[in-house]
């Protein structure tokens, strides 16, 4: 019987797989291993899968206060006009909401006074109480809606997303979870402060990320608080230092007229960047500085 042909160890090597035409990130190309090749920089961690502890898979970690400040300043200076305009718009709308709510209470007070003059004291008191309740509910709902929209807009700026100041008015879908989590946060913090100042600060720190988590991951009230507890683990001292820096900026800005148009956006931006760094997400300065050289990671 004929023997099979012996394998030729010096035979031609298999031809390398050619990358797909016009696709620098195709399999076999030098850029295929670049970490951001097939990643949408605007995708939230919930869409990419989460690692244990509430951090984005493959990212996150201990906060570097200096890094957060540096990135926040770069994003702030690159978006200065939008940030000033958005902060001014936010303040104007909140003031209108406050005066509108006060108008409701004023009308109720006028009706109550007229009823009292007519001898209907009990009905007048009831009308006054109802007007005060409506005032409180309307003010809380309107200001909460604006705060949620403000945070959503700031988060978009920190990520480098398009959308502009119009995002300030997009907080509606997140309003109810944010209000629920906010009430729980306030209650827990107040109980902590009743025990002592330190427990109150600790509670405020561990739950401080709940609103970002609602906006970023559509977390519910309880889930946002529990995720915040996990996310802030190992970062609470850094968050405390950032809080002190924010207080210092606010105090200094208090002596300069209209400085809140600058200090407010920067402080909120600093908070958003801290959240994005803790969850391992891309910030706007990374997109601006993304190198084009082959194989180089983002700065």
Domain spans, the chain? 59-283
pTM higher than 0.75: no
pLDDT at position 114: 84
Question: Can you tell me which residue has the tokens 């820096």?
Answer: 245
- For 170-189, give the DSSP string: --GGGHHHHHHHHHHHHHHH
Would you state the pLDDT for residue 92? 94
Q: Average model confidence (pLDDT) for the chain? A: 79
Model confidence at 6, pLDDT cuts 50, 70, 90, reads very low
Element (H, E) at 224: helix 221-231
Dump pLDDT digits (tens) for 155-198.
999 999 988 899 999 999 999 999 999 999 999 999 888 877 77
Confidence of residue 35 (pLDDT cuts 50, 70, 90): very low
Q: Which residue from 176, 178, 199, 177 is spatially nearest to 189, judged by alpha carbons?
A: 199
Residue 277 has pLDDT above 90, yes or no: yes
In 3D space, the residue among 181, 186, 185, 270 whose CA is nearest the CA of residue 219 turns out to be: 181
Identify whether the C-beta of residue 238 lies closer than 8 Å to the C-beta of residue 278: no
31 close to 253: Cβ distance less than 8 angstroms: no
Q: Note the pLDDT tens digit of each residue in 110-162.
A: 888 888 788 877 888 888 888 888 888 888 889 999 999 999 999 999 999 98
Average pLDDT over residues 201-229: 95
Query: What pLDDT is stored for residue 290 in this prediction?
Result: 57
Do residues 213 and 224 touch, judged by C-beta distance below 8 A? yes
Q: What proportion of the chain, given as a percentage, has pLDDT over 70?
A: 76
- At residue 288, the pLDDT reads 65
pLDDT at 34 over 80: no
- Residue 295 confidence class, pLDDT cut points 50, 70, 90: very low
């Amino acid at each position: 019987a004929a023997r099979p042909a012996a394998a030729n160890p010096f035979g031609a090597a298999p031809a390398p797989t050619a990358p797909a035409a016009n696709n620098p990130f195709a399999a076999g190309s030098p850029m295929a291993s670049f970490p951001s090749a097939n990643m949408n920089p605007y995708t939230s961690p919930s869409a990419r899968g989460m690692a244990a502890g509430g951090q984005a898979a493959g990212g996150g970690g201990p906060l570097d206060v200096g890094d957060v400040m540096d990135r926040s300043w770069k994003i702030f200076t690159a978006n200065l006009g939008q940030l000033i305009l958005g902060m001014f718009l936010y303040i104007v709308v909140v003031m209108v909401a406050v005066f509108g709510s006060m108008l409701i209470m004023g009308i109720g007070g006028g009706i109550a006074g007229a009823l009292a003059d007519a001898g209907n004291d009990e009905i007048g008191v009831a009308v006054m109480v109802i007007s005060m309740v409506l005032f409180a509910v309307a003010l809380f709902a309107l200001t909460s809606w604006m705060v949620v929209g403000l945070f959503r807009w700031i988060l978009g700026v920190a990520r480098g997303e398009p959308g502009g100041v119009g995002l300030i008015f997009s907080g509606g879908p997140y309003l109810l979870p944010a209000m629920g989590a906010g009430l729980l946060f306030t209650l827990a913090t107040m109980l902590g402060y009743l025990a002592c100042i330190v427990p109150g600060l600790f509670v405020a720190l561990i739950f401080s990320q709940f609103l970002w988590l609602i906006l970023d991951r559509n977390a519910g009230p309880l889930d946002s608080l529990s995720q915040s507890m996990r996310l802030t683990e190992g970062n609470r001292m850094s968050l405390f230092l950032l809080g002190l820096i924010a207080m210092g900026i606010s105090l200094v800005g208090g002596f300069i007229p209209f400085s809140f148009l600058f200090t407010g956006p920067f402080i909120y931006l600093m908070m958003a960047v801290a959240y994005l760094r803790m969850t391992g997400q891309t910030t706007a300065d990374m997109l601006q500085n993304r190198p084009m050289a082959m194989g180089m990671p983002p700065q």
